[in-house]
Structure 1
């Protein structure tokens, strides 16, 4: 990881990518401002891993479930102060993975179909309010908020042209959807 930017410096996608990776920090970028976010607890990661296993078994070849990866929300023109989130899990088009591999950089919101955030005690407001607005503004079709506290539940939001994200209802025990494809998630098996 290169040196952290000066306080007050607004970063672009290129600046963010140039920082590289470092095991000491988990970073996100909000309107050009670098955020250091706490690493998830092991239990949180186990829920994400369980979700990825269930998704992988059901997704068609052209879609991929990826945990803990940077996504450029594409909220500003290239070269402007950027917003990068690191969702717990995403469902992304395989061709977006291939684009990133060929061009470098990070994944783009335009290739992401579903973002999943797993609620932690310190992220509840961020997940339900701030990130909801960011993902909505980025045009991501589905935003799922998974709360691992018993009883495990999933709140599914879908993007509409008129109203932004609309609540599809909260599921417990089993979550089923037809978007982006037919999926059934056994929520009780995620803990």
Structure 2
């Protein structure tokens, strides 16, 4: 199908229900929408990306964070001035288990982690950082896919994030999640 054909069937304002239907119809892409209504279409993450998310998830679970409070690639409802957006972080940690839904609220989120893929640098390091801070998410971690797999830990400071630390993933995995306010 051409982009022109897709464009003719696109609603004027894309909702989270529209994103859900798009993802159900297209297993080869991930769809997100900013609270301002900007639609993003990304390919699914690659193997190296998935392994980083799995290593973080296993580290958290091994340290005692309940597995029903950790999830990979689940949708979050991101409130904003222009409405409700939907983001799919690479990893989310909650303070308590959540009800089953495609798009979950951010109220109980303790941590969101994004693993930077080629082409997502600006979105992950600027756009999402600002959206997650505005939503009141206490911690935002960005993991680069550089040689060290550098993790930058952001903590909420008022209405914006301040960088608390930056370290190689291997170093982080040798600490306790409790040292980072988790678990």
Work out whether residues 59 and 181 of structure 1, in 8 Å CA contact, stay in contact via their aligned partners in 2: no
SS in structure 1 of the partner of residue 130 of structure 2: helix
In the alignment, the residues of structure 2 paired with residue 141 and residue 93 of structure 1 have an alpha-carbon distance, to the nearest angstrom, of 11
Structure 1's unaligned 5+ residue stretches are 183-191
Q: Which has the higher contact order (CA 8 A, sep 6+)?
A: 1
The 5 A counterparts of 1:1-191 are 6-7=9-10, 9-17=12-20, 19=22, 21=24, 22-30=26-34, 31-61=36-66, 64-75=69-80, 81-95=83-97, 97=98, 99=99, 101=100, 104-161=101-158, 164-172=160-168, 173-175=170-172, 176=175, 178-181=179-182
Distance in 2 separating the partners of 1:180 and 1:63: 18
Q: Is there any run of 5+ residues in structure 2 with no aligned partner, and where?
A: 1-5
Cα RMSD after superposing both structures? 2.6
Q: Distance in 2 between matches of 1:6 and 1:125?
A: 29
Superposition deviation, residue 17 in structure 1: 4.1
The answer as to whether partners of 1:88 and 1:116 remain within 8 angstroms in 2 is yes
Go from structure 1 to structure 2 and tell me whether the alpha carbon gap of 1:82 and 1:59 turns closer, same or farther (over 3 Å shift).
same
Number of equivalenced pairs: 171
TM-score, normalising length: structure 1:
0.77
2:163 and 2:138 mapped to 1: Cα distance?
A: 12
Deviations 1:37-63 (A, max 9, x none): 121111111111111111111143387
Separation in structure 2 between the aligned mates of residue 45 and residue 139 of structure 1, nearest angstrom: 26
